[in-house]
Amino acid sequence: MAKKRGANEGTIFQRKDGRWCGILSLGWENCKRKRKSFYGPTEANVQDQMTKAKNDVRLGFPASVERQTVKEFLDRWLEESVKPSVRPLTHQQYSQHVRLYLGPVLGRHRLSKLRPQHVQAFVNFMLKKQVAPKVSRKKSKSAKSATPPTPRTLSPRTVQLSLAILRHALDQAAKWNLVGSNVAKLVDSPRLKRHETKPLTPDEARTFLAAINGKRWNAAYLIALTLGLREGELLGLRWQDVDLDGRTLTVNQTVQRIRSETEGEGSSLEFCEPKTNRSRRTLSLSDAVIAAIKAHRVSQNKARLAAGSEWHDDGLIFTTSIGTPIEKSNLFRDFKRILKNAKLPSIRFHDLRHSTASLLLAQGVHPRAIMELLGHSRIGVTMDTYAHVMPAMMSDVADKMDAILAG
């Protein structure tokens, strides 16, 4: 006998075979009423299925969401949840992982039937997966007739990021009542080998400053070393972000290369929001940085006059010879050339940011101040990243305590 229920709540009854059945009206389509049946071992189980279906319809998902695949959900999640809320480069990165890794391996599974075993199998498979090595366009053109490069396995960091993206997506699926729990959180992330940072020592930093003196990007390198700006933040600086009289610099935007969503249209440099809310910060300028910025402004004005009508005025501090944003790769090549000529270790440009923190920590500057300088979201990020500098600081603390107790 069917159980009497309220309007639009559907009907639930027990069948002769003992199973429970629910029938729910889901509105009209093509002048026909849409009804869906649900089956389960208990009345409560059927009730949960019907409640979930009604929530799905209210959120705009198709009525047959239990048949929705992981790939279908991820595509919709990227478009409706991720794209409006993150920076373009982040959306691009998420989309790439869904397209290359998550979709091909997990995409065929029903979202409602995804299990921890499926996710663990995905992690194990990706750690062994062979992929073609990255080859620059110049090398690929010159090596067409050469022996094909040896395939490589994906790095644990890439697999970890795919798992993190899946966890993020399934968190949203749980909020939308599409899944009962986030099964990706029941799978451990691959163990990572921590990247060894190579900050400049005080002597190397002084050698670097001497090497960049008089160079075209002297001010850029000086800001990167003394203020710890990320590369995108540095190249996104505008003259309106600098107050030389007030001796401050404000990070308000970054420059990122974003791939076009239209196939065949390549990519372009775009101005984006800073990485996090704390990344939007105002920093104090030293006399050396102010002098370098002033000298750079004189050089840029000369370049503007030479370019004439070809000058693109985006208000940027660091530009090409015609005022357009600088490609990170071009700055990186110049940076590497300076290191080589100065006989300094070959480090990443990002290691200038690490050098900022390491040099300040070695001078006893409080980690909280360094956190604010670098724009870290949490003090834990600062402490974890620069734990290798802490032993020297603790030794200094012990020496100071001896001095206090000795009077």
Per-domain residue ranges for the chain? 11-65, 70-133+152-186, 202-402
Domain 70-133+152-186 in this protein, CATH class: mainly alpha
pLDDT recorded at residue 366: 82
Per-position pLDDT tens, the chain of length 407 = 555 555 567 889 888 888 888 888 876 666 666 777 888 889 988 888 888 777 767 766 555 545 789 999 999 999 999 998 888 888 989 999 999 999 999 999 999 889 999 999 999 999 988 776 655 555 545 555 455 666 778 889 899 999 999 999 999 998 887 888 899 999 999 887 766 778 898 899 999 999 999 999 999 999 999 999 999 999 999 999 999 999 999 999 998 887 665 555 566 788 888 878 888 999 999 999 999 999 999 999 999 999 999 999 889 999 999 999 999 889 999 999 999 999 999 999 999 998 998 888 878 788 888 888 988 877 777 776 666 555 555 566 566 666 767 75
Name residues whose C-beta falls within 8 Å of residue 353's C-beta, 6 or more positions apart in sequence: 224, 228, 229, 230, 374
Q: How far apart are CA 111 and CA 93, in angstroms?
A: 22
Check residue 335 and give its pLDDT.
Answer: 96
**pLDDT on residue 197:** 74
Whether this model's pTM surpasses 0.75: no
> Topology of 202-402 in CATH?
hpI Integrase; Chain A (1.10.443)
- The residue type of 69 is T
pLDDT for residue 31: 64
Q: What is residue 290's predicted lDDT score, i.e. its pLDDT?
A: 96
Calpha distance 215→331 (Å, rounded): 12
Half-sphere exposure of 392 (CA within 13 A, CB side): 12
Beta strands in 130-273 (DSSP E): 130-131, 152-153, 242-243, 248-250, 254-259, 267-272
Tell me the pairing of strands 242-243 and 152-153: unpaired
Cβ(371)–Cβ(382) under 8 Å?
Answer: yes
156 contacts 191 by C-beta, under 8 angstroms:
yes
Q: Which residues fall within 8 angstroms of residue 218, CB to CB, at 6 or more apart?
A: 212, 292, 295, 296
pLDDT at 60: 64
Residue 35: its pLDDT value, please? 76
Strand order of the β-sheet with 20-29 is: 11-14, 20-29, 32-40
Q: Alpha-carbon distance 286 to 77, whole Å? A: 46
- Residue 277's CB is within 10 A of a number of other CB atoms, namely 10
- Contacts by 47-55, CB closer than 8 A, 24 or more apart: 47/12, 47/22, 49/22, 50/9, 50/10, 50/12, 50/22, 50/24, 51/177, 52/177, 52/178, 53/24, 53/26, 54/24, 55/176, 55/177
| Distance (Å, whole) CA 401 – CA 84 | 53
d(CA 149, CA 146): 9
What pLDDT is attached to residue 208? 96
Query: What are the residues whose beta carbons fall under 8 Å from the beta carbon of 402, sequence distance 6 or more?
Result: none
Distance CA 178, CA 51 (A): 11
